[in-house]
Amino acid sequence: MSRSRNKTLIEQTVTQDLFGPRALTEAAEVEVPEKYEIQECLGRGGFGVVYKALDKSLDRPVALKFLTDARPADLERFRREARFAARLNNPAIVQVYEFGECDGQPYIAMQYIDGQNLAETNLEPDEVVRVIRTATKALQHAHEEGIVHRDFKPANVLLDREGRTYLTDFGVARDLQGGTATISQQGTLLGTPALMSPEQARGDLQAIDARADIYAIGASLYWLLCRRYPFERTNLVDVLHAVVHDEPPLPRSINPSIPRALEAILLKCMQKERRGRYQSMAEVTADLDDYLEGRTVKTETAEWFRKLVGAKPRAPSTDPDLFQTVGIEIARGISAWDSNLYRVSKNITRFHPQLDSIIERLDKIIEVNPDVAWAYFYQGIALFRRGRLDEALDAMERSIDRLANQATAQFEMGRLYLALYLREQQKAHKHLTRLGVDRHLADTRGRLHQAEVCFKETQRLRSDDLMQWQIDYARAVSRLADRDHSGCVEMCDQILAQDPDLDEVWKLRGDALRFSGKEPFESYDEAIRVRRSHYDAYMAKAEAHLDHGRLGEARDCLRQALEIHPDYIDALAQIGRTYLLEARERKDEIDPKKIHETIDEGLNHLSHAATVQPRCYEVIVTQAELLIEKSRLLSDEPSLEAAIDCLHAATDLNGCQNRVKYLTAGAHFDRAMLRRERGADPRGDLEKVLAYEDNEPYLHDDNPWRDLLQAARKELAGLR
């Protein structure tokens, strides 16, 4: 390979993801550590420079990356690449030798690969499989260490001159034990959209696990064998929509020379549903080994063979009476539920059994007729109305590919995507730090894009302006996500000028006013006027009152929400929190008995909430906070023990884990102080507090960690 060819290769494989669109523009010179001798510059970019260098102490070539002028997100990717690659000890993973800083500029010294990347090769199918098989073994090792790559693609697989395979670029990897973000500060999806899994395209952080890499293996095989992406569209939104909803053309329809067994393997990897894919990289490797050894591939079942040879799939049920009788009856039942939302103002849950009956009935229909798309669609709607959003998404996505030309299906899908985003937006604002809020919002931003796509498709299919307000509503939500509160209010006002009876828009308008520090109550009351059962609006009113410390008014709103929905877990948890806030307000009272009674009343409310939903993050964390207050009031170590137990139970729940860790550290600090007062050794608890000191999320200014860590250091130093 020529020197210029090698230079081009290294520029692409080492710099393209680090430097982005400004790659190979002029960059500042850097100071190089003395142990390295620069041999040549491999690439410059707006954010840094890459050299081939000699490590003089070990007499070996290295690729030396410097980050010279980057955003915090780029620096985090840089650190993450070094940290994750250094954790992995596998001969097929490019090794990171050192992460350091020279003259204020971070750098990584990593293994230098003299060769080319897989995207630039033109290998026969069996050779492609051998390379991919080595990569799957490397990914299997990463998965066993709790790391998901999240950007596997041919360009990230390197081949040296001897044909050895190396996996590189862990810059957007996710640590399943630590929960790294998937979206940059600008809300841009990290990864390669045309090769990413549906859960990545949806921005669903919690759903991303090892099976996302399995999908990428299949999509990469597709590209390598067909020399085109599985989904080729004109813009990013359309690509993401296709990844989530569409089936790719069969590879053999593009390249008939692809072996059938290999097509079966890659399509198994690319199943939309995670449970339909291989469940581990070891399973992928086993089927690739069977293919290479000429054995029958387990994936190549009779059902797959029918599909692969172009045989018509098993015909769905054609019973004309099934929809005409059962389907229409179910549609009427769902319509009755929707009507009740605007008619009923007390205990909406008494109608839940009707929805549950519909869901059970559809389960039985699907069990007998798994090809009936309308059954999945109505099941998704019923689950959506029941508040089981994740299950609703699963059901609707099973039907949307076959109902894509029906406006109603697109409309309901758009509403669901929007509801999922609004739910995550509410969760985001409960993070301990502004950084946590921003990351959570960015992680779920894809939901908004999907909602807007669905609403636009609904409008196209109906050929009228009926859905324009839904499109504008999605855009208004986007303004709120960008903290453009006045812009959100302005868009809401434009929508309401055309139709003043849209409760969702009134509720959103109130949220925007609240987050901007203005009075939102008139908007919330309008939402309740339109929909008498709008318990979410009562909940929002309660939170607005809590913003101003009006505990009595907040409790009144929460009780009104619970009159409508007695099992509304958010309201049950928030009532418990009002007693926590009251106890903190009254901590200076002379009579501690009254504060004790307040705390116990709050704990009683939360005990009831736990019977409704035993594994609710907000309930468990608020219980812990009340127990911590009780321990401070009574100098009661058993209450601290119970609080720590609660917080341990919250570590695997969906919620701000930074808050859980901070409260746990605070509880250990309190216990250290109690033990010191009683003559016991507090060192163990203080060391547990300081064990959190090196965790990255706590280094930012907008959180209370600094004071707690400083106090623990001071106490521990006083004991030495």
CATH number of the domain encompassing residue 91 = 3.30.200.20
Q: Are residues 93 and 149 in the same domain?
A: no
| Whether the Cβ atoms of residue 304 and residue 264 lie closer than 8 Å to each other | yes
Q: Using 50, 70 and 90 to split pLDDT, how confident is the model at 606?
A: very high
Instruction: Flag whether 69 is in a domain.
Output: yes
Q: Are residues 139 and 103 in the same domain?
A: no
Q: Are residues 81 and 128 in the same domain?
A: no
Phi, psi of 616 (to 5 degrees): -100, 125
Structural domain harbouring 84: 3-111
- In sequence order, what are the residues at sequence separation of 6 or more whose Cβ sits closer than 8 angstroms to the Cβ of residue 641? none
Instruction: Flag whether 247 is in a domain.
Output: yes
Q: Using 50, 70 and 90 to split pLDDT, how confident is the model at 319?
A: very low
Q: State the average pLDDT over residues 205-209.
A: 74
**Given a cut of 60, is residue 521 above it in pLDDT?**
yes
What's the rounded Cα separation, in Å, for the pair 212 and 508? 34
- CA-to-CA separations, 456 to 61, 449, 703, in angstroms, rounded: 54, 11, 41
Per-residue confidence (pLDDT) for residue 374, from 0 to 100: 83
Q: What one-character-per-residue DSSP string does 343-357 give?
A: H--S-GGGGHHHHHH
Q: Are residues 266 and 203 in the same domain?
A: yes
Type of residue numbered 675: R
- CA-to-CA separations, 95 to 91, 561, 637, in angstroms, rounded: 8, 56, 48
Instruction: Flag whether 438 is in a domain.
Output: no
Q: Are residues 103 and 136 in the same domain?
A: no
Q: Are strands 36-44 and 105-111 parallel, antiparallel or unpaired?
A: unpaired
Q: Are residues 274 and 133 in the same domain?
A: yes
Instruction: Flag whether 424 is in a domain.
Output: no
Q: Are residues 38 and 123 in the same domain?
A: no
The more confidently predicted of residues 539 and 309 is: 539
Instruction: Flag whether 614 is in a domain.
Output: no
Phi, psi of 646 (to 5 degrees): -60, -45
Q: Are residues 100 and 18 in the same domain?
A: yes
What's the rounded Cα separation, in Å, for the pair 231 and 193? 9
Tokens found for residue 474: 């999605």
Q: State the average pLDDT over residues 21-42.
A: 66
Per-residue confidence (pLDDT) for residue 448, from 0 to 100: 76
* Minimum mean pLDDT range among 18-32, 241-255, 648-662, 699-713: 18-32
| Whether the Cβ atoms of residue 394 and residue 388 lie closer than 8 Å to each other | no
DSSP state of 150: S
Q: For the chain, give me the number of helices (H) and strands (E)? A: 32, 10
What's the rounded Cα separation, in Å, for the pair 134 and 129? 9
Report pLDDT digits (tens) over 153-203.
998 899 988 889 998 876 544 444 443 333 333 333 445 788 988 888 877
Instruction: Flag whether 35 is in a domain.
Output: yes
Instruction: Flag whether 418 is in a domain.
Output: no
Q: Are residues 65 and 130 in the same domain?
A: no
Q: Are residues 191 and 263 in the same domain?
A: yes
Q: Using 50, 70 and 90 to split pLDDT, how confident is the model at 627?
A: very high
pTM score, two decimals?
A: 0.56
- Which residues does residue 66 pair with via DSSP β-bridges, in sequence order? 49, 107
Q: Are residues 140 and 66 in the same domain?
A: no
**Given a cut of 90, is residue 452 above it in pLDDT?**
no
- Domain final residue pick, 254, 275, 308: 308
Per-residue confidence (pLDDT) for residue 322, from 0 to 100: 60
Q: What one-character-per-residue DSSP string does 248-260 give?
A: PPPHHHH-TTS-H
Per-residue confidence (pLDDT) for residue 131, from 0 to 100: 94
CATH number, domain at 293?
1.10.510.10
> Which residue in 74, 105, 47 sits closest to 185, CA to CA?
74
- Domain final residue pick, 285, 308, 331: 308
Give buried/exposed letters for 322-345 (b at 16+ CB in 10 A, else e): bbeebbeebbebbeebeeebeeee
Give the number of domains in the chain: 2
The more confidently predicted of residues 569 and 171 is: 569
Highest mean pLDDT among 199-203, 366-370, 644-648: 644-648
- In sequence order, what are the residues at sequence separation of 6 or more whose Cβ sits closer than 8 angstroms to the Cβ of residue 541? 520, 521, 524, 525, 557
292-297: long-range contacts (C-beta < 8 A, 24 or more apart)? 292/126, 292/129, 292/130, 292/133, 296/261, 297/261, 297/264, 297/265
H/E run at residue 78: helix 72-87
The more confidently predicted of residues 420 and 134 is: 134
3-state secondary structure of 204: coil
- Domain final residue pick, 282, 308, 334: 308
Q: Are residues 190 and 51 in the same domain?
A: no
Other Cβ atoms closer than 10 A to 615 = 12
- Which residues does residue 55 pair with via DSSP β-bridges, in sequence order? 36, 60
Instruction: Flag whether 105 is in a domain.
Output: yes
Q: State the average pLDDT over residues 588-605.
A: 83
Tokens found for residue 230: 């599985």
What's the rounded Cα separation, in Å, for the pair 203 and 443? 6
Tokens found for residue 412: 């309901």
